[in-house]
Structure 1
Amino acid sequence: MIKEPLLFNRDISWLSFNERVLLEAGNTEVPLFERIKFLSIYSSNLDEFYRVRMPALQKSDYDNGHNCYEQAATVINKQQQEFGKILSKSIIPELEKQGYHFCYKEDIPTEIIPYITSYFYSQVAGFLHPVHMLDNTVFFPENNRLYLVVIIRKDLEEHTYMVNIPSNHLNRFIKITQSGKSYIVFLEDIIRHNIKILFPDADSICSYNIKVTRDAELDVLDSDDEDLTDRFEKQLKKRDYGSATRFLYEPGLDAKHLQNIINALSLKKASLVQGGRYHNMKDLASLPIRDPALSYPDWPAIQDLNGFDHSETLFEAVSKRDLMVHAPYQTYDTILRFFNEAAINNDVEEIYTTLYRVASDSKIVHALISAARVGKKVTVLVELKARFDEENNILWAKRMKLAGVKIVYSVNSLKVHAKLALVKRKNTDLPYLGLMATGNLNESTARFYTDHILLTANQPMLAEAEKLFGFLSKKKKPEKTDAINFQHLLVAQFNLLTKFTELIDREIENARNGLSSGITIKLNNIEEEVLISKLYEASNAGVKVNLIARSICRLVPGIPGQSENITVKRIVDRYLEHGRVFIFHNEGNHEVFMGSSDWMNRNIYRRIEVCFPIYDNDLKNELMSIISLQWNDTQKAVLIDKDLKNVPLVKKAKGIRSQEGIYQYLSEVVKNTTQELTQAST
């Protein structure tokens, strides 16, 4: 009987990634305010986990004999304790040394009470809406909003009130400077300190912070475009009124009052979590601390690009050779320029692009609108189902449509996650120019997501992109009869799984024949079992597999007879690692691919994803050098071991911090290229 391969649980693996974020918050070598930001990121990630994954876990079966929901809750509870320890025992004392007194779990200091009282009357009181919780009171706590449960005694009777904490209208943290010292106070503590003003006749008052997190899932059936956007907008209005997935409450709330609140707020199916005194700690990123010495040193985006000397247009440069932008190390202006040149170039007749998460004031969309207004044919595939970006995507889609842009929405059961843009020109031997990326075409997230963007005039590859756009415009799911002969692109639902399997099989065959072999893959998530099993097979054949997986990783490394030749690393640093790169040794003639696709079930089977080869040898070597720096990182990389632990690497005296190394490497590449171009011109 063949033994089933070992796999990590998907959600516990993701929680391991969030633990890695927490480790960075606890790292005293990280600048203080950046550590606070990592606490904020951890908290924000966890909120989304409760909105998206916990509802699914509540309905799931056991995994390897474990109740997944209970297992996740146990892991989260342990991490939350570590969160509180890092904040109270490490970060707050460091803030004190820097002259910031963070009032955390303590009474308001006497010296600032007059200011706090004045602030309450002038700024806060008008936003408060106490609700008396009687038997017939209907009160619905909004998703992830903060509330106070206030229990008062008056004339031997007990009354319960719900009081909103208006952090959606006011700053969560208030800074008061007295005698050269800065005090930082939570908004809810200002309300609690002045709570007797709201209930002047109370004999005694107790108050407790609570928060309710709600299911974020949308349920929208397919329909025509106009009706689809209307349905999405109606569902979005209901999202914050979904079923409760978590009820977070402050310690000290006794069992009787806790049960009364659960009953009154219809929270019986929610996960009950006794948290700390404060919730929504994602707000820590808004602490009023603006000291550059407490943050990362500035890394200005590199303005020049290897192979583009600005003496010609970007289109002219791309027509001569492939270019690559590595965001955020290099300026994203090159990508904006691609769309701007497309909008104003008289030879451009058609523009096609996909938009998954649109920037709030997207310059790319403005360029597309301008192109349509001057008569160019512009087709945009807008993904409405990009979670938590639906409203913004709908807004921009409507604006583009009014300007004459043809808007195509994907069918409900199939997301278009590919990152593509295609320009079609007249009066040239190279009618196609294109852009293919590992991340969203979004200038906002490009400031802190590491991604790679290829600009190319490879005509056969871009002709395939045009065929894909044509298919997607039909708005239907791919079927076996929808065969497109992709020779260059790897497209999920068509040939992506088959092609990756063939590439792994070739490395297996080479290893078995005594030839050199190897696989290096960097992605965000790896879950899909067919591809994981192929990597296990490669390991058993002697292929060395290097895997950099930022978050979810179901593959278990280092298991004899399964994965002893597989090493998995994870990198967390100032930028969010987001690029997907696939390198196959091929007896030393490396084949390198980039693209939008992680190895998740959703990416392989339920989305349109596009990966693509890097043909230019200089760019291939450049990309491989970047991945090599990441693989050899000893500062911000950790090993994921067979027990799913984040194991720090042994730091060397002059260890590598890959993000810093990449910035320096690309700066040097551009410097050398500029010198070569200067010498050639003279």
Structure 2
Amino acid sequence: MDNTQQSSSRSATPADDSATGGSSPSTQEAVKAPPRITDLSKPEYYINRELSHLQFNTRVLEQALNEEHPLLERLRFLLIYSSNIDEFFEIRVAGLMQQIGYGRELVGLDGMGPRAVLKEINAHAKEQVTRQYQILNETLLPALKEENIHFIKRSELNEKQRIWVKRFFYNEVMPIISPIGLDPAHPFPRLANKLLCFIVSLEGKDAFGRDTGMAVIPAPRSLPRVIRLPDDICDNDGTNYVFLSSIIHRHMEDLFPGMKVKGCYQFRLTRNSDLDLEDEVEDLAKALQGELLSRRYGEAVRLEVVDNCPQPLVDFLLKEFGLTEEEVYRVNGPVNLTRLMSVCNNGADEHLTFTPFTPEYPKVLQPRPNSTENVLDYVKKADILLHHPYESFTPVIDMLRQAAKDPNVLAIRQTLYRTGAHSEMADALVEAARHGKEVTVVVEIRARFDEEENLALALRLQEAGAVVVYGVVGYKTHAKMMLIVRREGRSIQRYAHLGTGNYHAGNARLYTDYSLLTCDKDITNDVRKIFQQLTGMGKAFKVRKLLHAPFTLKKGLIDRINHEAANAKEGKSARIIIKINALTEKQMIRALYKASQAGVKIDLIVRGICCLRPGIEGLSENIQVRSIVGRFLEHSRVFYFENDGESQVYCSSADGMSRNLNNRIETCFPVEEPKMANRIRKELELFLSDNVRSWTLQSDGSYVQNKPTRGQRRRNVQRKLLESLTNYVSGVSRSP
């Protein structure tokens, strides 16, 4: 199925760009009820989690072919696909292989065991990886060449370039590269995860008379994989790159003097990178440090090798790594594409990248002449809702920074998941601690692939005098919340920030998320209780307005879904709109199925994994699922319930996954101010009207890209929000 050439039969209702699109949430469509399915446990009603994950990555890869994106952004999408697939194998495939190895094969909702899933994964992933390299070689590299961005092959180097490359090899590569000949005294080396390597076949004897015929060369990780050539040695006035692999390959015989190199082939090994921490550990930080040392050398899960590598050498590598032919991925190009990302960030011509924009700083927070008011003073007057990246993340940083200096602020508490040891948020917390504030930070050091950075962050905060807590063993702290306690006269006032995304200013420019700044007494008291629960011990506190996992969140959401179903049965207005990153939780899916059967119109905006099958008669014909893939990573989690005209809007740090609802510390907060709640609803409707960057999930598990029908205006939700919420200039010839 060519998803790029099809349009959905359930495409969005035609509407003008200025309209919210779709029908009003209070409108109930009269649907003739088909025979109701009662057994919701049948495997055919669920989509496999891992295969749905691969479908999302395929939608990312599709962006590399989208000519509406600037050229370097198309290359970036192709490289993001590589990064996503790497992590998929390091974590998800590794987990399936581990199940088989330990003899603990689990069958999912869809009825598939790990062996069947792995077979499907390899078939799908190999097809898409082959397609990825075709896009690179046949589409993107020629297009980049037309834009005067050249990747010079070693056979294409001119005389000046050959001299420069040789000098680079001897000065930069030769001193740190370590060829390893293979013989009884030099067994096959233990290679780190995703390290670019070469397998070399040799002829002749070395200085000691050895004739092993084979060597392995790990490429130095300290060197870039793409090197820009000086302009004065190039035959054109463009930008010229050469791959490190080409430089090493060209001078391979210099590494084996007196011997003949018969063949040299790139390969890369992917290993299990998931960390396994026991629930009963005395010191979580020390245990994690020990695990990090072993991450680079986990069990092998995938072998990537250039497609011209002879089969005997491939078989030799497979034997060394304990893999089979099923785990081999033959590629027509560099085996470590992700390292090309530096090309996308190398200050190229503006027309090759997305049009820049400046996130809007809310007018209500902009300083007035001669005013000494700060963010806390404004929040005291009214709640503030921010939609990132269209609206700036700076107010959140300002709120913390100003609190750090405010002599009336007594205490600051914050959760940190992915932030960075030297970020602005970390700087403000350090400053607050040094100013004598009672600073308590819950640092989730187990945030995957950010563990080392979070350990460094925790150490820095501790050295500044902050109290650092690592959360709860067995439950990742994924909630995004900040609490500021300030003395105001004779009373104590609390202020809170609650968000759907991490406290990471860089991600706030790339991810879509909501932030709420509030001093609502019930909400801030709920936040206080959750912090006390995280840092202290005792029974779970009863909270008034927040839903929090693993205690009330899942039940609270399912209760509201069930309430919509009850309203529909009674003829009352009922509607559900949910925007999340993934949906896998069995009980939530079944509640949505039952609500659909009751006649509730349900729209799910699920960026990635979705195990629910929409459009099944008698089960889910009232459910539509769409995914938005565009310039920004859709990351906000929002739950809208019509509630017979008394609508409820919640934003959350949690997705609809078992791990979020059952095994993490999460928060879900209400947006109660009518104008703010209405704004979120309208923005959700905008997402449902998108016919440019959206894909609709079919009942067979495939996705079809939505496209404007004849006479219908193009509706790109991310572009619309850019134009309405920022200083982004519309009317350019290319799409964001």
Q: Is this a same-fold pair by TM over 0.5?
A: yes
Q: Tell me how far 1:289 sits from its aligned partner.
A: 6.2
| 1:513-524 correspondence runs (5 A) | 513-524=570-581
Other-structure match for 1:347:
408
The separation in 2 between residues aligned to 1:375 and 1:88, in whole angstroms, is: 58
- The 3 A distance-change label for structure 1 pair 142 and 639 is same
1:336 aligns with 2:397: yes
* AA at the equivalent of 2:405: I
Give a deviation string over 1:404-450, Cα, whole Å, max 9, x none. Answer: 21111123211111101111122355611100000111212212111
Contact 2:193 2:296 in 1 (8 A): yes
Contact 2:529 2:543 in 1 (8 A): no
Other-structure match for 2:583:
526
1:108 aligns with 2:153: no
1:321 aligns with 2:382: yes
Other-structure match for 1:64:
111
| 1:104-503 correspondence runs (5 A) | 107-110=155-158, 112-138=161-187, 139-154=189-204, 159-175=213-229, 177=231, 178-181=234-237, 182-222=239-279, 227-265=283-321, 271-287=327-343, 288=346, 290-306=348-364, 310=368, 311=371, 312-428=373-489, 431-474=493-536, 482-503=539-560
SS of 2:266's equivalent in the other structure is: strand
Contact 2:596 2:620 in 1 (8 A): yes
Q: Tell me how far 1:364 sits from its aligned partner.
A: 1.4
The partner residue of 2:72 within 25, 28, 33 is 33
Other-structure match for 1:49:
88
Other-structure match for 2:26:
none
* AA at the equivalent of 2:203: R
Contact 1:527 1:552 in 2 (8 A): yes
Other-structure match for 2:716:
657
SS of 1:371's equivalent in the other structure is: helix
* Greater CA drift, 417-426 or 153-162: 153-162
Q: Tell me how far 1:68 sits from its aligned partner.
A: 0.7
Q: Aligned Cα RMSD in Å?
A: 2.3
The separation in 2 between residues aligned to 1:126 and 1:184, in whole angstroms, is: 22
Higher RCO structure (Cα 8 Å, ≥6 apart) = 2
* AA at the equivalent of 2:222: N
The separation in 2 between residues aligned to 1:632 and 1:230, in whole angstroms, is: 50
- The 3 A distance-change label for structure 1 pair 257 and 650 is closer
The separation in 1 between residues aligned to 2:281 and 2:468, in whole angstroms, is: 12
Q: Tell me how far 1:127 sits from its aligned partner.
A: 2.4
The separation in 1 between residues aligned to 2:513 and 2:112, in whole angstroms, is: 39
* AA at the equivalent of 2:111: N
Q: Tell me how far 1:402 sits from its aligned partner.
A: 2.1
- The 3 A distance-change label for structure 1 pair 265 and 65 is closer
The separation in 1 between residues aligned to 2:325 and 2:311, in whole angstroms, is: 17
* AA at the equivalent of 1:659: Q
Q: Tell me how far 1:251 sits from its aligned partner.
A: 1.9
The separation in 1 between residues aligned to 2:726 and 2:418, in whole angstroms, is: 29
1:2 aligns with 2:39: yes
The separation in 2 between residues aligned to 1:370 and 1:430, in whole angstroms, is: 22
* AA at the equivalent of 1:471: Q
Q: Tell me how far 1:461 sits from its aligned partner.
A: 1.3
- The 3 A distance-change label for structure 1 pair 108 and 151 is farther
* AA at the equivalent of 2:529: K
1:560 aligns with 2:617: yes
* Greater CA drift, 248-257 or 182-191: 248-257
The separation in 2 between residues aligned to 1:305 and 1:494, in whole angstroms, is: 38
The separation in 2 between residues aligned to 1:606 and 1:494, in whole angstroms, is: 10
Give a deviation string over 1:340-382, Cα, whole Å, max 9, x none. Answer: 1211112211111111112242221222222222222111111
Contact 1:354 1:420 in 2 (8 A): yes
SS of 1:282's equivalent in the other structure is: helix
Give me the identity figure in percent: 31
Q: Tell me how far 1:39 sits from its aligned partner.
A: 0.8
Gaps of 5+ in 2: 1-37, 100-104, 729-736
The separation in 2 between residues aligned to 1:629 and 1:578, in whole angstroms, is: 16
Contact 2:281 2:287 in 1 (8 A): no
* Greater CA drift, 71-80 or 626-635: 626-635
* Greater CA drift, 464-473 or 643-652: 643-652
- The 3 A distance-change label for structure 1 pair 87 and 168 is same
- The 3 A distance-change label for structure 1 pair 253 and 475 is farther
Contact 1:244 1:269 in 2 (8 A): no
SS of 1:128's equivalent in the other structure is: coil
Contact 2:204 2:260 in 1 (8 A): yes
Give a deviation string over 1:546-601, Cα, whole Å, max 9, x none. Answer: 11111111111111111111111111111111110111111232210001010101
Contact 1:244 1:267 in 2 (8 A): yes
Contact 1:580 1:596 in 2 (8 A): yes
Contact 1:501 1:531 in 2 (8 A): yes
SS of 1:101's equivalent in the other structure is: strand
Q: Tell me how far 1:171 sits from its aligned partner.
A: 4.5
Q: Tell me how far 1:37 sits from its aligned partner.
A: 0.3
Contact 2:360 2:727 in 1 (8 A): no
Other-structure match for 2:654:
597
Contact 2:421 2:460 in 1 (8 A): no
* AA at the equivalent of 1:94: A
Other-structure match for 1:672:
none
* AA at the equivalent of 1:152: L
The separation in 2 between residues aligned to 1:370 and 1:31, in whole angstroms, is: 41
The separation in 2 between residues aligned to 1:65 and 1:470, in whole angstroms, is: 42
Q: Tell me how far 1:307 sits from its aligned partner.
A: 6.2
The separation in 2 between residues aligned to 1:269 and 1:223, in whole angstroms, is: 39
The separation in 2 between residues aligned to 1:81 and 1:268, in whole angstroms, is: 19
Gaps of 5+ in 1: 477-481, 670-682
The separation in 1 between residues aligned to 2:502 and 2:578, in whole angstroms, is: 20
- The 3 A distance-change label for structure 1 pair 392 and 203 is closer
Contact 1:196 1:205 in 2 (8 A): no
Q: Tell me how far 1:266 sits from its aligned partner.
A: 5.4
Count of residue pairs brought into register by the alignment: 662
The separation in 2 between residues aligned to 1:536 and 1:305, in whole angstroms, is: 43
